[in-house]
């Protein structure tokens, strides 16, 4: 009897040890998978051949890349660990899996930074860490920040924002302007309220004469063929006003606007892998046709969140950033469909090419400001939570702002 009892005890001890060993192995595996979700060699990178392809021809990733501990790349972006440095890892991973399963559209990337650190980085579909993604209208924010850089360096002043835009363009013939052209200030153009009204057909006809529209000739043609500029026409209209702003940048900075943006912003932030196309005027595109990597989009978000500072250097005046990212045009100032509420997204506004909205999570509204490009290119800042969300998408099923309010904010609210 004693032998049986002793044997039973021995079996139980061995079984317990085996269970503990197995449990420890599982814990070790879980810990390892979180610590090194995707080793460096597995980062999805475009090959040299793929990088030359039109974006629509980029092959789909065989599986999504999802990292809760992003890799440090020595690119000026600090990294941390989702969950440890903030955020609910399970909530974000659940959303990421839904994105990977195509439930929210064809996302190409989804990144989150919190309290100055990149905590989450994921790529899907055509997304690659080294592949510049078409930005669409998110480009407008980069143009806005270029104005701020010109102010920081003294080529413009904050007071200049309220001066007639044509006063900076010395090659124009004012005798050929429509009535009210002097009402267009840099401030008005930065808020899509120039008041210029030209039909699509007229614009196409103007741009056919390529010699006529070079340099400031494009503005000359617009101010000749537009209907008169009035208080009524100077209401918000999502149009080509960024081109007017780029003309001012080109006119006031030394050299060209293209060289200025490269030297004074892109090079300063270590942005070297990008595409920035040229407008019919010969100047850099101001409202679209720029491509940036997702991490470089995050850099623009960090620049704005840090009130214009990058690595301790004031690239853009804090006063300009503050004005740019806050509401100037309000919901009730415009009949534009872009100002409509959407569930937990309300009180839309517009600053200097930055959008604003209140995002409701729980019983509280959080102010957000964002760069927004068609189909889902977004850089979203929520200052109260010290949060930046970056997305790139080529076919969207859900508003990224709504997704942020409904699914991302709750993961960072204590």
Q: What is the pLDDT of residues 240-283, one digit of tens each?
A: 999 999 999 999 999 999 999 999 999 999 999 999 999 999 99
Does one domain contain both 236 and 329? no
User: What is the number of alpha carbons within 13 Å of residue 50 lying toward its C-beta?
Assistant: 16
Q: Please indicate, yes or no, whether residues 314 and 356 belong to a single structural domain of this protein.
A: yes
Question: Are 179 and 123 in the same domain?
Answer: no
Give the Cα separation of 321 and 308 in Å (integer): 6
Of 179-183, 332-336, 351-355, give the lowest mean pLDDT range: 332-336
Do 298 and 392 sit in the same domain of this protein?
Answer: yes
Q: Which residues contact 35 (CB under 8 A, 6 or more apart)?
A: 69
Q: Terminal CA-to-CA distance of the chain, rounded, Å?
A: 59
C-alpha closest to that of 359 among 338, 339, 342, 340: 342
Q: Residues with Cβ < 8 Å from 253, sequence gap 6 or more?
A: 150, 153, 155, 260
Q: Which residue has the tokens 């930065």?
A: 190
CA distance 305 to 314: 12
Number of domain units in the chain: 2
Question: What are the respective helix, strand and coil percentages of the chain, to the nearest 5?
Answer: 40, 20, 40
Look up residue 183 and give its two tokens. Answer: 């009402």
Residue range 144-193, pLDDT digits in tens = 999 999 999 999 999 999 999 999 999 999 999 999 999 999 999 999 99
pLDDT at 337: 83
Does one domain contain both 109 and 80? yes
- Confirm if 216 and 247 have CB atoms less than 8 A apart: yes
Contacts of 383 (CB under 8 A, 6+ apart): 305, 367, 369
Residues 302 and 405 in one domain: yes
Token reading at 247: 């003309």
Q: In this structure, is residue 263 part of a structural domain?
A: no
Are 296 and 385 found together in one domain? yes
Percent pLDDT > 70 in the chain is: 90
Residue in the block written with tokens 């990337």: 109
Judge whether 14 lies within some domain.
Answer: no
Residue 6 in any domain: the answer is: no
Position 171 in a domain: yes
Flag whether 163 is in a domain. yes
Is 360 in the same domain as 320? yes
User: How sure is the predictor about 20, in pLDDT bands with cuts at 50, 70 and 90?
Assistant: very low
CA dist., res. 275 & res. 259, Å (int): 14
Q: What phi-psi label fits residue 50: left (phi over 0), alpha (psi between -120 and 50 degrees) or beta?
A: alpha
- Phi then psi for residue 242, to 5 deg, are -55, -30
Task: Note whether 379 and 371 are within 8 A (CB).
Answer: yes
95-122: average pLDDT: 98
Residue 147: inside a domain: no
pLDDT at 17 over 50: no
Q: Single out the residue in 252, 277, 309 at which a domain terminates.
A: 252
Categorize the per-residue pLDDT at 333 as very low, low, confident or very high, splitting at 50, 70 and 90.
confident
The predicted structure's pLDDT at residue 264: 98
**Structural domain of 233:** 156-252
Q: Could you write out the DSSP letters of every residue in 16-80?
A: HHHHHHHHHHHHHHHHHHHHTSS-GGGS----HHHHTS-GGGSPPPSS-EEESSPPP-SSS--B-
Q: Do 318 and 356 fall into the same domain?
A: yes
Residues 118 and 178 in one domain: no
Instruction: Kindly state whether residues 403 and 306 are assigned to the same domain.
Output: yes
- Whether 279 is in a domain gets the answer no
Comparing C-alpha atoms, which of 148, 149, 245 is closest to residue 188? Answer: 245
The SS3 call for residue 180 is coil
Three-state DSSP at 373 gives: strand
**Residue 299 CA, distance from chain mean position:** 9
List of residues 6+ apart from 413 with CB closer than 8 A: 361, 362, 385
Q: Decide which of 252, 283, 302 is a domain's last residue.
A: 252
Please report the pLDDT score of residue 91 as a whole number: 98
Q: Pick the closest to residue 401 from 335, 355, 337, 350 (CA basis).
A: 355
Do 86 and 175 lie in one domain? The reply is no
CA distance 261 to 145: 9
Q: How confident is the model at residue 28 (pLDDT cuts 50, 70, 90)?
A: very low
The pLDDT score that the predictor gives to residue 414 is 85
d(Cα 315, Cα 150) in Å, to the nearest integer?
9
Distances (CA, A) of 299 to 13, 31, 116, 164, 383: 56, 30, 11, 32, 15
Among 230, 252, 274, residue at a domain's last position: 252
Q: What is the pTM of this model?
A: 0.90
User: What pLDDT does 40 receive?
Assistant: 53
User: Average of pLDDT values for 10-19?
Assistant: 41
What's the CA gap between 5 and 11, in Å, rounded? 10
Q: How high does pLDDT run on average in the chain? A: 91
- Residue 353 has which token pair? 């090419």
- How far apart CA 57 and CA 227 sit, in angstroms, is 42
Q: Is residue 8 part of a domain?
A: no
Reported as a pLDDT band with limits 50, 70 and 90, residue 10 is: very low
């Amino acid at each position: 009897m004693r032998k049986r009892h002793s044997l039973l005890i021995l079996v139980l001890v061995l079984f317990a040890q085996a269970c503990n060993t197995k449990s420890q192995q599982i814990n070790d595996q879980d810990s390892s998978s979180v610590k090194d979700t995707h080793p460096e060699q597995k980062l999805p990178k475009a090959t040299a051949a793929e990088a030359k392809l039109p974006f629509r021809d980029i092959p789909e990733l065989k599986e999504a890349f999802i990292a809760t501990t992003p890799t440090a790349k020595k690119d000026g972006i600090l990294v941390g660990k989702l969950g440890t440095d903030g955020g609910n890892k399970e909530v974000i991973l659940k959303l990421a899996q839904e994105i990977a399963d195509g439930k929210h559209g064809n996302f190409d990337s989804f990144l989150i930074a919190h309290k100055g650190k990149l905590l989450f980085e994921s790529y899907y579909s055509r997304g690659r860490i080294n592949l510049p993604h078409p930005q669409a209208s998110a480009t407008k924010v980069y143009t806005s920040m270029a104005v701020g850089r010109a102010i920081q360096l003294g080529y413009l002043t904050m007071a200049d924002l309220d001066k007639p835009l044509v006063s900076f363009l010395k090659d124009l013939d004012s005798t050929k302007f429509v009535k009210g052209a002097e009402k267009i200030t840099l401030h008005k153009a930065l808020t899509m309220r120039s008041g210029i009204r030209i039909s699509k057909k007229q614009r196409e006809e103007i741009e056919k004469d390529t010699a006529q529209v070079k340099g400031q000739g494009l503005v000359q043609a617009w101010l000749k063929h537009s209907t008169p500029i009035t208080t009524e026409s100077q209401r918000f209209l999502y149009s080509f006003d960024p081109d007017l702003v780029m003309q001012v940048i080109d006119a006031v900075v030394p050299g060209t606007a293209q060289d200025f943006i490269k030297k004074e912003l892109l090079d300063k932030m270590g942005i070297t892998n990008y595409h920035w196309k040229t407008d019919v005027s010969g100047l850099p595109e101001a409202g679209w046709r720029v491509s940036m990597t997702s991490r470089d989009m995050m850099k623009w978000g960090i620049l704005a969140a840090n009130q214009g500072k990058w690595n301790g250097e004031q690239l853009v005046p804090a006063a300009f950033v503050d004005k740019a990212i806050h509401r100037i045009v309000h919901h009730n100032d415009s009949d534009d469909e872009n100002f409509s509420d959407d569930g937990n997204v309300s009180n839309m506004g517009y600053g200097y090419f930055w959008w604003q909205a209140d995002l409701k999570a729980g019983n509280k509204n959080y102010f957000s400001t964002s760069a927004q490009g068609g189909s889902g290119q977004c850089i979203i800042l929520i200052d109260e939570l010290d949060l930046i969300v970056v997305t790139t998408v080529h076919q969207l099923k859900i508003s990224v702002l709504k997704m942020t309010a409904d699914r991302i904010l709750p993961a960072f609210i204590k």
